[in-house]
Amino acid sequence: MNDVVLEVRVIPRAKRNASGGERDGALVVRLAAPPVEGAENAALIEFLAATLDLPRRNIRIVSGEQSRRKRVAIAGLTAETVNERLTTGFPANKP
């Protein structure tokens, strides 16, 4: 199975971690972490791992580590499953 690659636009210093839909072909993710010393990248990986119900090791930032626009590779899921879980917030955003 090949990695699924997502375009992600990160908005740091939000009130809470949350997915914010799509903008310019990229998934918008709001993160509470500041964009310093890798905190934003670690928070993004943690958020995606929880939302997609995957271990953190299955998610890696391919490009854009110092940018708000990033490319993230996700291993272990199909593109359809990734899309479904991101749109429904499974399981992290469910009560």
Report yes or no on 87 lying in a domain.
Answer: no
The answer to whether the pTM exceeds 0.75 is yes
- Reported confidence tier of residue 17, pLDDT bands at 50, 70, 90: very high
The CATH number of whichever domain residue 19 belongs to comes to 3.30.1200.10
Q: What is the mean pLDDT of residues 21-28?
A: 91
Handedness of CA 79, 1, 30, 92 (dihedral sign): positive
Distance of CA 22 to the CA centre of its chain: 12
| In contact, 45 and 51? CB cutoff 8 Å | no
Count: domains in the chain = 1
User: pLDDT for 38-68, tens place per residue?
Assistant: 999 999 999 999 999 999 999 999 999 999 9
List the structure tokens of 21. Answer: 């839909």
Report yes or no on 81 lying in a domain.
Answer: no
User: pLDDT for 64-92, tens place per residue?
Assistant: 999 999 999 999 999 999 989 988 766 54
Whether pLDDT at 93 is above 50: no
Report yes or no on 20 lying in a domain.
Answer: yes
Whether pLDDT at 27 is above 70: yes
What domain range includes position 44?
4-76
